[in-house]
Amino acid sequence: MYMAISPLDGRYGKQLETLKIYFSEFALMKWRCFVELSFVEELIGTGLFAGITKAEASRIQSAKSDFSTEDYFRIKEIEKKIRHDVKSCEVFLGEKLNLAGDNNNLIHFGLTSEDINNIAYSSILKSYLEDVQLPALKKLITRMCEICESWRDDVFPARTHGQKASPTTAGKEMAVFVSRLSKIFAKLKKFTFKGKLNGATGNFSAFCAAFPDYDWIDFSNKFVGRLGLGSNCVTTQIEDHDAWAEYFNITRQVNNIVLDLDCDMWQYISYGYIREMSEPGAVGSSTMPHKVNPINFENSEGNIAISNSLLSVLSEKLCRSRMQRDLSDSTVERNIGVALAHSHLAISETLKGLNKIELNREKCLEEVKASPELLAEPMQTILRLAGVADPYTLLKNITRGKEATGSDLREFVNGLDIADEIKRKLLSLDVTRYTGLASKICDIALDTARSVIL
Protein backbone atom coordinates (compact mmCIF):
# COMPACT_ATOMS: atom_id res chain seq x y z
CA MET A 1 0.00 0.00 0.00
CA TYR A 2 2.80 2.44 0.89
CA MET A 3 4.30 1.88 -2.59
CA ALA A 4 1.02 2.51 -4.43
CA ILE A 5 1.13 5.02 -7.28
CA SER A 6 -2.46 6.12 -6.84
CA PRO A 7 -3.68 7.45 -3.47
CA LEU A 8 -6.88 5.50 -4.12
CA ASP A 9 -4.90 2.32 -3.48
CA GLY A 10 -2.48 3.91 -1.02
CA ARG A 11 -3.55 6.63 1.39
CA TYR A 12 -7.26 5.99 0.87
CA GLY A 13 -7.01 2.26 0.23
CA LYS A 14 -8.85 1.15 3.36
CA GLN A 15 -11.68 3.64 2.79
CA LEU A 16 -12.17 2.39 -0.76
CA GLU A 17 -11.60 -1.32 -0.17
CA THR A 18 -15.19 -2.22 -1.08
CA LEU A 19 -14.85 -0.63 -4.53
CA LYS A 20 -12.38 -3.29 -5.63
CA ILE A 21 -15.22 -5.73 -6.26
CA TYR A 22 -16.54 -3.31 -8.89
CA PHE A 23 -13.57 -1.63 -10.53
CA SER A 24 -10.58 -3.96 -10.35
CA GLU A 25 -9.22 -6.00 -13.25
CA PHE A 26 -10.41 -9.06 -11.33
CA ALA A 27 -13.96 -7.66 -11.27
CA LEU A 28 -13.91 -6.97 -15.01
CA MET A 29 -12.80 -10.52 -15.80
CA LYS A 30 -15.43 -11.91 -13.45
CA TRP A 31 -18.21 -9.96 -15.17
CA ARG A 32 -16.96 -10.88 -18.62
CA CYS A 33 -17.16 -14.54 -17.69
CA PHE A 34 -20.58 -14.03 -16.13
CA VAL A 35 -21.92 -12.49 -19.35
CA GLU A 36 -20.38 -15.25 -21.49
CA LEU A 37 -21.91 -17.94 -19.30
CA SER A 38 -25.30 -16.25 -19.15
CA PHE A 39 -25.21 -16.06 -22.94
CA VAL A 40 -24.53 -19.81 -23.19
CA GLU A 41 -27.56 -20.48 -20.97
CA GLU A 42 -29.68 -18.17 -23.13
CA LEU A 43 -28.58 -19.98 -26.31
CA ILE A 44 -29.43 -23.38 -24.85
CA GLY A 45 -32.87 -22.04 -23.98
CA THR A 46 -33.60 -21.32 -27.66
CA GLY A 47 -33.87 -25.03 -28.50
CA LEU A 48 -31.61 -24.48 -31.50
CA PHE A 49 -28.77 -26.50 -30.02
CA ALA A 50 -28.25 -29.87 -28.41
CA GLY A 51 -29.12 -29.92 -24.75
CA ILE A 52 -26.62 -30.16 -21.94
CA THR A 53 -26.49 -32.54 -18.99
CA LYS A 54 -27.43 -31.60 -15.45
CA ALA A 55 -23.77 -31.85 -14.51
CA GLU A 56 -22.82 -29.40 -17.27
CA ALA A 57 -25.59 -27.01 -16.25
CA SER A 58 -24.29 -27.23 -12.68
CA ARG A 59 -20.76 -26.43 -13.86
CA ILE A 60 -22.03 -23.35 -15.67
CA GLN A 61 -23.87 -22.16 -12.58
CA SER A 62 -20.84 -22.81 -10.40
CA ALA A 63 -18.57 -20.90 -12.79
CA LYS A 64 -21.00 -17.94 -12.72
CA SER A 65 -21.19 -17.75 -8.94
CA ASP A 66 -17.69 -18.78 -7.88
CA PHE A 67 -15.10 -16.88 -9.88
CA SER A 68 -11.83 -17.35 -7.99
CA THR A 69 -8.40 -15.75 -7.94
CA GLU A 70 -7.12 -18.94 -9.56
CA ASP A 71 -9.59 -18.43 -12.40
CA TYR A 72 -8.38 -14.86 -12.84
CA PHE A 73 -4.71 -15.82 -12.96
CA ARG A 74 -5.44 -18.61 -15.45
CA ILE A 75 -7.11 -16.06 -17.76
CA LYS A 76 -4.10 -13.73 -17.44
CA GLU A 77 -1.79 -16.65 -18.21
CA ILE A 78 -3.73 -17.36 -21.40
CA GLU A 79 -3.74 -13.66 -22.27
CA LYS A 80 0.06 -13.56 -22.15
CA LYS A 81 0.08 -16.00 -25.07
CA ILE A 82 -2.82 -14.84 -27.25
CA ARG A 83 -2.73 -11.10 -26.37
CA HIS A 84 -6.52 -10.66 -26.23
CA ASP A 85 -8.37 -10.30 -22.94
CA VAL A 86 -11.91 -11.27 -24.00
CA LYS A 87 -10.70 -14.19 -26.13
CA SER A 88 -8.73 -15.34 -23.09
CA CYS A 89 -11.98 -15.52 -21.12
CA GLU A 90 -13.51 -17.64 -23.89
CA VAL A 91 -10.56 -20.05 -23.92
CA PHE A 92 -10.57 -20.27 -20.14
CA LEU A 93 -14.29 -21.04 -20.00
CA GLY A 94 -13.84 -23.75 -22.62
CA GLU A 95 -11.26 -25.39 -20.38
CA LYS A 96 -13.31 -24.96 -17.22
CA LEU A 97 -16.68 -26.12 -18.55
CA ASN A 98 -15.49 -28.86 -20.92
CA LEU A 99 -18.97 -29.24 -22.41
CA ALA A 100 -19.65 -32.43 -24.35
CA GLY A 101 -19.58 -32.63 -28.14
CA ASP A 102 -19.69 -29.27 -29.88
CA ASN A 103 -21.31 -27.45 -26.99
CA ASN A 104 -18.07 -25.68 -26.06
CA ASN A 105 -18.60 -23.81 -29.34
CA LEU A 106 -21.59 -22.10 -27.72
CA ILE A 107 -19.17 -19.96 -25.74
CA HIS A 108 -18.90 -16.62 -27.59
CA PHE A 109 -21.11 -17.95 -30.41
CA GLY A 110 -21.68 -15.23 -33.01
CA LEU A 111 -20.29 -12.53 -30.74
CA THR A 112 -17.68 -9.82 -30.98
CA SER A 113 -15.62 -8.76 -27.96
CA GLU A 114 -17.60 -5.58 -27.50
CA ASP A 115 -20.81 -7.60 -27.00
CA ILE A 116 -19.23 -8.94 -23.84
CA ASN A 117 -17.37 -5.79 -22.79
CA ASN A 118 -20.23 -3.32 -23.01
CA ILE A 119 -22.59 -5.56 -21.05
CA ALA A 120 -19.90 -6.35 -18.46
CA TYR A 121 -19.11 -2.68 -17.87
CA SER A 122 -22.78 -1.67 -17.78
CA SER A 123 -23.47 -4.46 -15.29
CA ILE A 124 -20.60 -3.25 -13.12
CA LEU A 125 -21.90 0.32 -13.22
CA LYS A 126 -25.43 -0.86 -12.43
CA SER A 127 -24.18 -2.81 -9.41
CA TYR A 128 -22.05 0.10 -8.20
CA LEU A 129 -24.96 2.52 -8.55
CA GLU A 130 -27.36 0.29 -6.61
CA ASP A 131 -24.97 -1.11 -4.00
CA VAL A 132 -22.67 1.83 -3.28
CA GLN A 133 -23.52 5.15 -4.91
CA LEU A 134 -27.20 5.43 -3.98
CA PRO A 135 -26.67 4.25 -0.37
CA ALA A 136 -23.81 6.77 0.06
CA LEU A 137 -25.96 9.55 -1.33
CA LYS A 138 -28.82 8.47 0.91
CA LYS A 139 -26.56 8.75 3.97
CA LEU A 140 -25.54 12.24 2.92
CA ILE A 141 -29.15 13.35 2.36
CA THR A 142 -30.24 11.78 5.65
CA ARG A 143 -27.55 13.69 7.54
CA MET A 144 -28.48 16.92 5.74
CA CYS A 145 -32.13 16.35 6.72
CA GLU A 146 -31.12 15.98 10.37
CA ILE A 147 -29.19 19.24 10.25
CA CYS A 148 -31.97 21.02 8.37
CA GLU A 149 -34.55 19.94 10.94
CA SER A 150 -32.35 20.83 13.90
CA TRP A 151 -31.54 24.31 12.53
CA ARG A 152 -35.01 24.92 11.05
CA ASP A 153 -35.86 28.11 12.97
CA ASP A 154 -32.40 29.46 13.83
CA VAL A 155 -31.82 32.90 12.32
CA PHE A 156 -28.79 32.92 10.05
CA PRO A 157 -26.85 35.75 8.34
CA ALA A 158 -27.30 35.52 4.58
CA ARG A 159 -24.91 36.96 2.03
CA THR A 160 -25.28 37.78 -1.64
CA HIS A 161 -22.17 38.83 -3.60
CA GLY A 162 -20.37 38.36 -0.28
CA GLN A 163 -22.34 41.24 1.25
CA LYS A 164 -24.92 41.12 4.04
CA ALA A 165 -28.38 40.28 2.73
CA SER A 166 -31.86 39.63 4.11
CA PRO A 167 -31.46 37.05 6.89
CA THR A 168 -32.58 33.47 6.55
CA THR A 169 -32.54 30.45 8.83
CA ALA A 170 -29.69 27.99 9.07
CA GLY A 171 -32.14 25.21 8.32
CA LYS A 172 -33.24 26.90 5.08
CA GLU A 173 -29.59 27.16 3.96
CA MET A 174 -29.32 23.38 4.39
CA ALA A 175 -32.78 22.77 2.88
CA VAL A 176 -31.54 24.05 -0.46
CA PHE A 177 -28.93 21.29 -0.60
CA VAL A 178 -31.41 18.72 0.70
CA SER A 179 -33.72 19.61 -2.17
CA ARG A 180 -31.01 19.57 -4.83
CA LEU A 181 -29.56 16.25 -3.70
CA SER A 182 -33.02 14.68 -3.45
CA LYS A 183 -33.80 15.57 -7.06
CA ILE A 184 -30.56 14.05 -8.33
CA PHE A 185 -31.07 10.97 -6.13
CA ALA A 186 -34.46 10.41 -7.76
CA LYS A 187 -32.89 10.72 -11.20
CA LEU A 188 -30.16 8.20 -10.41
CA LYS A 189 -32.65 5.80 -8.84
CA LYS A 190 -34.56 5.61 -12.13
CA PHE A 191 -31.49 5.39 -14.33
CA THR A 192 -31.18 2.48 -16.77
CA PHE A 193 -27.90 1.41 -18.32
CA LYS A 194 -27.90 0.05 -21.87
CA GLY A 195 -26.41 -3.02 -23.45
CA LYS A 196 -25.97 -4.35 -26.97
CA LEU A 197 -25.59 -7.91 -28.25
CA ASN A 198 -25.66 -7.89 -32.06
CA GLY A 199 -22.31 -9.01 -33.40
CA ALA A 200 -19.32 -7.59 -35.21
CA THR A 201 -20.93 -4.66 -37.03
CA GLY A 202 -24.23 -4.64 -35.18
CA ASN A 203 -26.27 -6.56 -37.79
CA PHE A 204 -26.56 -10.04 -36.19
CA SER A 205 -24.84 -11.30 -39.35
CA ALA A 206 -23.08 -14.32 -37.82
CA PHE A 207 -26.27 -15.33 -35.99
CA CYS A 208 -28.30 -15.13 -39.18
CA ALA A 209 -25.70 -17.11 -41.09
CA ALA A 210 -26.20 -19.96 -38.63
CA PHE A 211 -29.98 -19.67 -38.13
CA PRO A 212 -31.50 -17.26 -40.67
CA ASP A 213 -35.10 -17.79 -39.57
CA TYR A 214 -34.64 -17.17 -35.87
CA ASP A 215 -35.66 -13.83 -34.28
CA TRP A 216 -32.25 -12.71 -33.04
CA ILE A 217 -33.39 -9.18 -32.26
CA ASP A 218 -35.97 -10.51 -29.84
CA PHE A 219 -33.34 -12.87 -28.42
CA SER A 220 -30.95 -9.97 -27.85
CA ASN A 221 -33.58 -7.75 -26.27
CA LYS A 222 -34.65 -10.44 -23.83
CA PHE A 223 -31.10 -11.42 -22.92
CA VAL A 224 -30.01 -7.86 -22.20
CA GLY A 225 -33.26 -7.19 -20.33
CA ARG A 226 -32.78 -10.22 -18.06
CA LEU A 227 -29.47 -8.71 -16.97
CA GLY A 228 -31.32 -5.60 -15.84
CA LEU A 229 -30.21 -3.42 -18.74
CA GLY A 230 -32.07 -1.60 -21.49
CA SER A 231 -31.45 -3.07 -24.93
CA ASN A 232 -29.75 -1.00 -27.62
CA CYS A 233 -29.86 -3.03 -30.83
CA VAL A 234 -29.15 -0.18 -33.30
CA THR A 235 -25.39 0.19 -33.04
CA THR A 236 -22.10 -0.16 -34.85
CA GLN A 237 -19.67 -2.75 -33.52
CA ILE A 238 -19.72 -0.91 -30.23
CA GLU A 239 -22.54 0.25 -28.00
CA ASP A 240 -22.68 4.04 -28.36
CA HIS A 241 -22.19 4.66 -24.62
CA ASP A 242 -24.59 7.58 -24.68
CA ALA A 243 -26.21 6.14 -21.54
CA TRP A 244 -22.80 6.00 -19.88
CA ALA A 245 -22.22 9.64 -20.77
CA GLU A 246 -25.59 10.55 -19.29
CA TYR A 247 -24.73 8.68 -16.11
CA PHE A 248 -21.28 10.28 -15.86
CA ASN A 249 -22.84 13.70 -16.31
CA ILE A 250 -25.45 13.02 -13.62
CA THR A 251 -22.65 11.92 -11.30
CA ARG A 252 -20.76 15.10 -12.19
CA GLN A 253 -23.88 17.05 -11.25
CA VAL A 254 -23.96 15.23 -7.89
CA ASN A 255 -20.32 16.21 -7.45
CA ASN A 256 -21.05 19.84 -8.23
CA ILE A 257 -23.88 20.03 -5.70
CA VAL A 258 -21.61 18.50 -3.04
CA LEU A 259 -18.82 20.88 -4.08
CA ASP A 260 -21.19 23.84 -3.65
CA LEU A 261 -22.02 22.54 -0.18
CA ASP A 262 -18.31 22.08 0.64
CA CYS A 263 -17.49 25.64 -0.36
CA ASP A 264 -20.40 27.13 1.59
CA MET A 265 -19.57 25.11 4.70
CA TRP A 266 -15.93 26.20 4.44
CA GLN A 267 -17.04 29.85 4.22
CA TYR A 268 -19.52 29.54 7.10
CA ILE A 269 -16.80 28.02 9.27
CA SER A 270 -14.40 30.82 8.34
CA TYR A 271 -17.04 33.43 9.33
CA GLY A 272 -17.66 31.61 12.60
CA TYR A 273 -21.31 30.92 11.84
CA ILE A 274 -20.63 27.20 12.10
CA ARG A 275 -18.09 25.56 14.39
CA GLU A 276 -16.18 22.39 13.72
CA MET A 277 -15.77 20.27 16.82
CA SER A 278 -12.19 19.24 17.48
CA GLU A 279 -11.17 15.59 17.62
CA PRO A 280 -9.13 14.52 20.66
CA GLY A 281 -5.48 14.13 19.70
CA ALA A 282 -5.89 15.70 16.26
CA VAL A 283 -3.71 18.58 15.06
CA GLY A 284 -4.92 21.41 12.82
CA SER A 285 -1.56 23.05 12.12
CA SER A 286 2.08 22.12 12.51
CA THR A 287 2.77 25.49 14.14
CA MET A 288 -0.56 27.01 15.28
CA PRO A 289 -2.04 24.89 18.09
CA HIS A 290 -5.42 26.65 18.11
CA LYS A 291 -6.49 25.66 14.60
CA VAL A 292 -9.35 23.29 13.72
CA ASN A 293 -9.23 23.05 9.96
CA PRO A 294 -12.26 22.11 7.79
CA ILE A 295 -10.10 19.38 6.27
CA ASN A 296 -12.92 17.04 5.28
CA PHE A 297 -14.67 19.67 3.19
CA GLU A 298 -11.33 20.59 1.62
CA ASN A 299 -10.52 16.94 0.87
CA SER A 300 -13.94 16.55 -0.72
CA GLU A 301 -13.39 19.64 -2.86
CA GLY A 302 -10.06 18.32 -4.16
CA ASN A 303 -11.38 14.86 -4.94
CA ILE A 304 -14.36 16.32 -6.78
CA ALA A 305 -12.00 18.34 -8.98
CA ILE A 306 -10.25 15.12 -10.03
CA SER A 307 -13.48 13.16 -10.40
CA ASN A 308 -15.15 15.82 -12.52
CA SER A 309 -12.20 16.16 -14.86
CA LEU A 310 -12.16 12.39 -15.46
CA LEU A 311 -15.95 12.14 -15.79
CA SER A 312 -15.83 14.91 -18.37
CA VAL A 313 -13.22 13.03 -20.40
CA LEU A 314 -15.19 9.79 -20.12
CA SER A 315 -18.50 11.32 -21.19
CA GLU A 316 -16.89 13.02 -24.18
CA LYS A 317 -14.46 10.33 -25.33
CA LEU A 318 -16.57 7.20 -24.97
CA CYS A 319 -19.39 8.51 -27.18
CA ARG A 320 -17.03 8.74 -30.15
CA SER A 321 -15.36 5.95 -32.08
CA ARG A 322 -13.95 6.01 -35.61
CA MET A 323 -16.20 4.27 -38.11
CA GLN A 324 -17.31 0.96 -36.59
CA ARG A 325 -14.80 1.21 -33.73
CA ASP A 326 -11.26 1.91 -32.62
CA LEU A 327 -9.51 0.70 -29.51
CA SER A 328 -8.71 4.08 -27.97
CA ASP A 329 -11.78 3.57 -25.75
CA SER A 330 -10.34 0.45 -24.09
CA THR A 331 -7.71 2.15 -21.94
CA VAL A 332 -10.09 5.01 -21.17
CA GLU A 333 -12.78 2.63 -19.89
CA ARG A 334 -10.32 1.24 -17.36
CA ASN A 335 -10.37 4.63 -15.62
CA ILE A 336 -14.12 4.62 -14.97
CA GLY A 337 -13.52 3.26 -11.49
CA VAL A 338 -10.93 5.95 -10.78
CA ALA A 339 -13.41 8.73 -11.59
CA LEU A 340 -16.18 7.17 -9.50
CA ALA A 341 -13.85 6.33 -6.61
CA HIS A 342 -12.81 9.98 -6.27
CA SER A 343 -16.49 10.94 -6.27
CA HIS A 344 -17.29 8.33 -3.62
CA LEU A 345 -14.34 9.49 -1.52
CA ALA A 346 -15.52 13.11 -1.80
CA ILE A 347 -19.02 12.27 -0.56
CA SER A 348 -17.65 10.26 2.36
CA GLU A 349 -15.37 13.17 3.32
CA THR A 350 -18.25 15.66 3.19
CA LEU A 351 -20.29 13.36 5.40
CA LYS A 352 -17.44 13.18 7.92
CA GLY A 353 -17.30 16.96 7.95
CA LEU A 354 -21.06 17.26 8.49
CA ASN A 355 -20.82 14.91 11.45
CA LYS A 356 -18.37 17.27 13.20
CA ILE A 357 -20.17 20.61 12.97
CA GLU A 358 -22.48 22.63 15.17
CA LEU A 359 -24.29 25.92 14.65
CA ASN A 360 -22.87 28.94 16.46
CA ARG A 361 -26.29 30.33 17.30
CA GLU A 362 -24.97 33.19 19.43
CA LYS A 363 -22.66 34.43 16.67
CA CYS A 364 -25.40 34.25 14.03
CA LEU A 365 -27.93 36.06 16.17
CA GLU A 366 -25.41 38.71 17.17
CA GLU A 367 -24.46 39.45 13.56
CA VAL A 368 -28.07 39.71 12.39
CA LYS A 369 -28.96 41.99 15.33
CA ALA A 370 -26.05 44.23 14.41
CA SER A 371 -27.42 44.70 10.89
CA PRO A 372 -30.68 46.69 11.20
CA GLU A 373 -30.10 48.10 7.71
CA LEU A 374 -31.36 44.74 6.40
CA LEU A 375 -34.84 46.00 7.23
CA ALA A 376 -34.59 48.45 4.35
CA GLU A 377 -36.04 45.74 2.09
CA PRO A 378 -39.31 45.13 3.99
CA MET A 379 -39.66 48.81 4.78
CA GLN A 380 -39.53 49.94 1.16
CA THR A 381 -41.92 47.12 0.24
CA ILE A 382 -44.49 48.20 2.84
CA LEU A 383 -44.10 51.85 1.78
CA ARG A 384 -44.83 50.86 -1.81
CA LEU A 385 -48.20 49.55 -0.63
CA ALA A 386 -48.75 52.80 1.27
CA GLY A 387 -48.32 54.76 -1.94
CA VAL A 388 -45.10 56.54 -0.96
CA ALA A 389 -43.20 57.83 -3.98
CA ASP A 390 -39.95 55.96 -4.72
CA PRO A 391 -39.43 54.41 -1.27
CA TYR A 392 -36.51 52.37 -2.61
CA THR A 393 -34.44 55.52 -3.16
CA LEU A 394 -35.46 56.94 0.21
CA LEU A 395 -34.15 53.82 1.98
CA LYS A 396 -31.10 53.63 -0.24
CA ASN A 397 -30.06 57.14 0.74
CA ILE A 398 -29.85 56.25 4.43
CA THR A 399 -28.55 52.65 4.21
CA ARG A 400 -26.45 51.98 1.10
CA GLY A 401 -22.79 51.81 2.02
CA LYS A 402 -23.55 53.12 5.48
CA GLU A 403 -23.85 51.65 8.95
CA ALA A 404 -27.46 52.61 9.58
CA THR A 405 -28.53 52.09 13.18
CA GLY A 406 -31.91 51.23 14.61
CA SER A 407 -32.20 54.86 15.71
CA ASP A 408 -31.58 56.03 12.14
CA LEU A 409 -34.40 53.84 10.87
CA ARG A 410 -36.80 54.92 13.60
CA GLU A 411 -36.04 58.56 12.88
CA PHE A 412 -36.64 57.94 9.18
CA VAL A 413 -40.01 56.24 9.82
CA ASN A 414 -41.21 58.91 12.25
CA GLY A 415 -40.40 61.60 9.71
CA LEU A 416 -42.60 60.08 7.01
CA ASP A 417 -45.96 61.56 6.14
CA ILE A 418 -47.89 58.31 6.43
CA ALA A 419 -50.66 56.87 8.59
CA ASP A 420 -49.79 55.96 12.19
CA GLU A 421 -50.85 52.38 11.48
CA ILE A 422 -48.20 52.07 8.78
CA LYS A 423 -45.61 53.64 11.07
CA ARG A 424 -46.40 51.12 13.79
CA LYS A 425 -46.05 48.30 11.27
CA LEU A 426 -42.66 49.56 10.17
CA LEU A 427 -41.39 50.14 13.70
CA SER A 428 -42.47 46.65 14.79
CA LEU A 429 -40.20 44.99 12.26
CA ASP A 430 -37.51 42.85 13.91
CA VAL A 431 -34.47 41.94 11.84
CA THR A 432 -33.98 38.68 13.79
CA ARG A 433 -37.47 37.54 12.80
CA TYR A 434 -37.29 38.73 9.20
CA THR A 435 -36.94 35.25 7.69
CA GLY A 436 -40.12 34.98 5.66
CA LEU A 437 -41.25 31.41 5.02
CA ALA A 438 -37.82 29.89 5.62
CA SER A 439 -39.05 27.40 8.22
CA LYS A 440 -41.95 26.28 6.05
CA ILE A 441 -39.60 25.80 3.10
CA CYS A 442 -37.49 23.54 5.34
CA ASP A 443 -40.53 21.38 5.96
CA ILE A 444 -41.26 21.13 2.23
CA ALA A 445 -37.67 20.08 1.48
CA LEU A 446 -37.67 17.54 4.31
CA ASP A 447 -40.97 15.96 3.29
CA THR A 448 -39.86 15.66 -0.33
CA ALA A 449 -36.43 14.26 0.54
CA ARG A 450 -37.81 11.63 2.89
CA SER A 451 -40.37 10.49 0.35
CA VAL A 452 -37.58 10.12 -2.24
CA ILE A 453 -34.97 8.30 -0.17
CA LEU A 454 -37.46 6.06 1.63
The residues assigned a catalytic role are: 161, 285
DSSP 374: G
Is residue 245 packed enough to be buried (19+ CB in 10 Å), middle (13-18) or exposed (0-12)? middle
The answer to whether the beta carbons of residues 222 and 309 sit under 8 Å apart is no
Q: At 418, is the secondary structure helix, strand, or coil?
A: coil
DSSP bridge pairs for 359: 274
Helix ranges restricted to H, 105-228 = 113-128, 134-150, 170-189, 205-210, 216-226
Residues paired with 163 in a beta bridge: 160
Residue 302 · residue 95 · CB < 8 Å:
no
Distance CA(46)–CA(213), nearest Å, equals 13
Helix (H, G, I), strand (E, B) or coil at 410: helix
The three-class DSSP label of residue 196 is coil
At residue 158, the 3 state secondary structure works out as strand
DSSP output for 246-283: HHHHHHHHHHHHHHHHHHHHHHHHHHTSEEEPPPTT--
**Which one, of 95, 108, 100, 101, lies nearest residue 38 by Cα?**
108
In this structure, the strands spanning 155-160 and 163-169 are antiparallel
